Amino acid sequence: MGKQWTVDGARVDELRAAFSGQVLRPGDDGYEDARRVHNGLIDKRPGLIARCAGLGDIVDAIRFARTHDLEVAVRGGGHNVAGRATIDDGLMIDLAPMKGIYVDPARRTIRAQGGVNWREFNRETQVYDLATTGGVISTTGIAGLTLGGGLGWLMGKYGMAVDNLLSAEIVTADGESLTASAEENPDLFWAIRGGGGNFGVAASFEYRLHPVGQVTGGLVAHPVASAKDVLHFYREFTASLPDEVTAFAGVTHAPDGSGLKLAFIAVCHCGPLESGAAAVEPVKKFGSPVMDVIGPMPYGQLNVMLDAGFPKGALNNWKANFLSELSDEVIDAIVEGFLAVPSTMSALMLEYFHGAVTRVGATETAFPHRDRGYNLAIISQWSEPRDNARNIAWAKDTFAAMKPFVAAGRYVNYLGDDEVGDPVRAAYGPNYDRLVNLKNQYDPTNFFHMNQNIRPTA
Ligand SMILES: Cc1cc2nc3c(=O)[nH]c(=O)nc-3n(C[C@H](O)[C@H](O)[C@H](O)COP(=O)(O)OP(=O)(O)OC[C@H]3O[C@@H](n4cnc5c(N)ncnc54)[C@H](O)[C@@H]3O)c2cc1C
């Protein structure tokens, strides 16, 4: 494993012959587009990109990599900030063309292929006023987000994305296709509900859906001068939050490019509209917001509300950690860190875990973060490569300033490529040893290692 690219063109043609999708080498039409991921800082050049059209292509790509001893990366939606969906020299198994989605409105289930993103997913489910917990913005892939846990607008009521997963079709390191569900391969099913891409390629996912059409959602923004008051209010508001409400808050910039600094609270109430209005009223009444766009809207519309703030190709360096508590001191540190930010595309965001998420035991799924509390994401985002050093330094320094306030746990999907210590162990906490045992069973040679890697010990 880890070889440089040595497969000659004739062998690649053998793979192409039966392939339903496309097999791209550097220089081929479409290669430059296909190698790019969401984070513009990631600039890797795979030796080969297997753009899979279906399960058969995934199986062939895995067997081809095995035969030629190639390093492999797996791409779903390509949003991983650490850039683990791609690779230099090796083979990228790219699921982006796999867009199949089948909703069963009677059973309230959906099966969606591994290249689908949340916009495409909601487009189909919203026809029936159905939804399940997915990403806060719509361009993120369902695959990586779900495999790592998956937080979003509906989590207070319906739990994490993994809590709604019914089954997945997994192609393992030896090219075998398995169903992972509560009935079939339950150990594997446990592992993929948080364990990321460590156990195989997820060709498709089956989820439970819920009746969610119109929600009461949106955000209020306040001048940054009142940021501390806004975050104190957010702490009080979340202290008695009903399951139906999921609430995020933080400090950010106006979306018009003016550079105006703002504090915000973003909410989604997914119950009846009358109770939604009452539940979000305190947020709308608090202080003197400069913007209030909270009201009834289709869930699919809420899911695209923040998309423009995260353009494809922007340069990203994120840091994140669960907090031990949202104390006055950490609120001060968040606001002070934000006032030193060098980019008008950056933000700090708090995500509150409560309700259905916290009624699942920490060891019931590989995703272990089931305590009520706040996750803090430091989102350093900018557009000019000449600004790389100062924006990366800002994320690092701001994260360092949070150290006194952080809990042990970290969310695997927000881990960066420049972490110190053992972030993967922190991401899995009490589940780490069981995950290593299952990695030994399903992928003892660590064939799938371009991910937040759980190293086998076998
Ligand atoms: C702008 C932005 C917004 C985000 N918002 C949220 C949010 O609201 N909630 C949240 O929980 N997270 C969020 N995230 C984090 C997100 O969950 C991760 O970035 C996740 O990895 C994205 O999944 P993907 O399929 O797009 O990523 P990719 O980069 O394609 O893949 C991520 C990892 O998963 C593996 N993988 C991908 N597809 C498969 C597959 N089919 N089978 C096996 N392994 C696979 C990859 O190998 C890689 O290791 C956000 C990230 C960004 C950049």
Q: Do the strands 177-181 and 165-171 form a parallel or antiparallel pair, or are they unpaired?
A: antiparallel
233-282 pLDDT, tens digit per residue, is 999 999 999 999 999 999 999 988 899 999 999 999 999 999 999 999 99
124-146 pLDDT, tens digit per residue, is 999 999 999 999 999 999 999 99
- Quote the percentage of the chain above a pLDDT of 70: 98
Q: Where are the beta strands (DSSP E) in 95-213?
A: 101-104, 109-113, 130-131, 165-171, 177-181, 201-208, 210-211
Instruction: State how far the Cα of 88 lies from the Cα of 47, in Å rounded to an integer.
Output: 7
**What is the Å distance from ligand 1's center to 148 Cα?**
8
Q: What does each C-alpha distance from 265 to 135, 281, 302 come to in angstroms?
A: 17, 12, 14
Q: Is the pLDDT of residue 2 over 50?
A: no
Q: In degrees to the nearest 10, what's the CA dihedral of 361, 362, 367, 371?
A: 100
349-400 pLDDT, tens digit per residue, is 999 999 999 999 999 999 999 999 999 999 999 999 999 999 999 999 999 9
Whether 77 lines ligand 1, by a CB cut-off of 6 Å, is yes
Name the band, by pLDDT with cuts 50, 70 and 90, for residue 118. very high
Ligand 1 atom at shortest distance from the alpha carbon of 200: 43
pLDDT for 216: 98
pLDDT for 307: 97
pLDDT for 5: 55
Cβ neighbour number for residue 329 with a 10 Å cutoff? 11
Helices of type H across 139-264: 142-148, 155-158, 186-192, 227-239
**78: Cβ contacts below 8 Å, ≥ 6 apart:** 36, 37, 38, 85, 86, 96, 141
Give the tokens for residue 278.
């009452």
Q: Is the pLDDT of residue 53 over 80?
A: yes
Whether 140 lines ligand 1, by a CB cut-off of 6 Å, is yes
Instruction: State how far the Cα of 457 lies from the Cα of 435, in Å rounded to an integer.
Output: 11
Whether 79 lines ligand 1, by a CB cut-off of 6 Å, is yes
Whether 80 lines ligand 1, by a CB cut-off of 6 Å, is yes
Give the type of residue at 354.
H
Whether 84 lines ligand 1, by a CB cut-off of 6 Å, is yes
Q: What does each C-alpha distance from 19 to 14, 57, 276, 345 come to in angstroms?
A: 9, 6, 50, 41
164-193 pLDDT, tens digit per residue, is 999 999 999 999 999 999 999 999 999 999
Instruction: State how far the Cα of 416 lies from the Cα of 423, in Å rounded to an integer.
Output: 9
Q: Hunting for tokens 């993929």 — which residue is that?
A: 192
**What is the Å distance from ligand 1's center to 387 Cα?**
25
- Quote the percentage of the chain above a pLDDT of 90: 95
pTM for this one? Answer: 0.97
9-49 pLDDT, tens digit per residue, is 778 998 999 999 999 999 999 999 999 999 999 999 999 99
Q: In degrees to the nearest 10, what's the CA dihedral of 421, 332, 264, 283?
A: 120
Cβ neighbour number for residue 389 with a 10 Å cutoff? 10
Q: Do the strands 177-181 and 210-211 form a parallel or antiparallel pair, or are they unpaired?
A: unpaired
